[in-house]
Amino acid sequence: MSSQQHSLKPFNTFNLDRFAQELIIATTPEALSAAWQESQLRQQPVLLIGEGSNILFLDDFQGKAIINRIKGIAVKEGAEAWHLHVGAGENWHQLVKYTLEKGLPGLENMAMIPGCTGSAPIQNIGAYGVELKSICEYVDVLHLATGEIERLPTEACQFGYRDSIFKHKYQYGYAIVAVGLILNKKWQPVLSYGDLGKLSPQTATPQQIFDTVCQMRSSKLPDPAKTGNAGSFFKNPVVSVEQANAIMAAWPDAPRYPQADGSVKLAAGWLIDRCDLKGFAIGGAAVHQQQALVLINQHQATSGDIVALAHEVRQRVGQKFNVWLEPEVRFIGAQGEQDAVGVIA
């Protein structure tokens, strides 16, 4: 089958015109497992995709792309919390809107994070002071070789900053088919970031937080439907206290977020911005004018343009601050995932 057979453009938010040899839309765990097993028998590369909001295709994919579209939202009410069972193929932002409409607060800080619900545990997504791990009850994982589904409680998911067991032990041969969320009835607003600090802890409502988060994200982040991008391109770097103090001595306004283990998280967007890189372009790729953490497909960018731009950003930040940024975005080559740091180093 020709590699020009199936366009991946609708399945990557960078809007890159890449192709796969085969493309399957799977709406059940059985379909997902069957498609994967067939690829194994044919010794064919296989790639699982949600909405492609965290993917950079480096080449055409020389195998089968399986699009996870397992849907469904079930809500059970307990004495102290609501328990949600959400299909991996449900759009995350639509889920946040759904919960608010149903009077189930707790996800509002994570409004407008692009992608599917099934991708949320992989990255341990988070925004504006809330991470998935704080509201995740379990993750249902499909063992693709056997068709069996295993339920991992939160503590087994090894959630870290933009990290989880799904990037390690469960990275290959497994697929997330559902996520269990627990939303506490004793709701507390989280107002620690950005314009949320202007809201009153006594009177702030979940809807106000949702609206404020949407406003902040819309003002800073380009809409992938209009300008190709994958959201935050780089992880916020975590450094030692000594290194953070050295940066603070030279740049007292540098944002810093002390971590529980004694390390300090820095803001990658601030570091890039201080290198005067907003608007900087290579080929059709550019650093976004409003948010330096976002790399955009400004004008028919190639994969090579985006890689070259990411390399340049990493080099400039590294030379100025001695902090070496790592991509948050997954890099996919012709045969599968590649080491993103290795590609741009």
Q: What amino acid positions are annotated as catalytic residues?
A: 162, 232, 328
* CA atoms of 188 and 249, how far apart (whole Å): 35
Which tokens belong to 261?
Answer: 């283990």
Which tokens belong to 283?
Answer: 């080929």
* CA atoms of 81 and 241, how far apart (whole Å): 38
* CB of 118 closer than 8 Å to CB of 53: no
Buried b / exposed e along 63-78 (16+ C-beta atoms within 10 A) = bbbbbbbbeebeeeee
* CA atoms of 310 and 45, how far apart (whole Å): 26
- DSSP letters, 195-262, are GGGGS-TTT--HHHHHHHHHHHHHHHS--TTTSEEEEE-BPPPEE-HHHHHHHHHH-TT--EEE-TTS
Which tokens belong to 100?
Answer: 């608010």
Which tokens belong to 210?
Answer: 């949702």
Residue 1: how many other CB atoms lie within 10 Å: 9
Which tokens belong to 184?
Answer: 């506490």
Nearest to 328 by CA among 112, 87, 126: 126
* CA atoms of 40 and 1, how far apart (whole Å): 17
* CA atoms of 155 and 137, how far apart (whole Å): 9
Question: Strand pairing partners for 332?
Answer: 57, 337
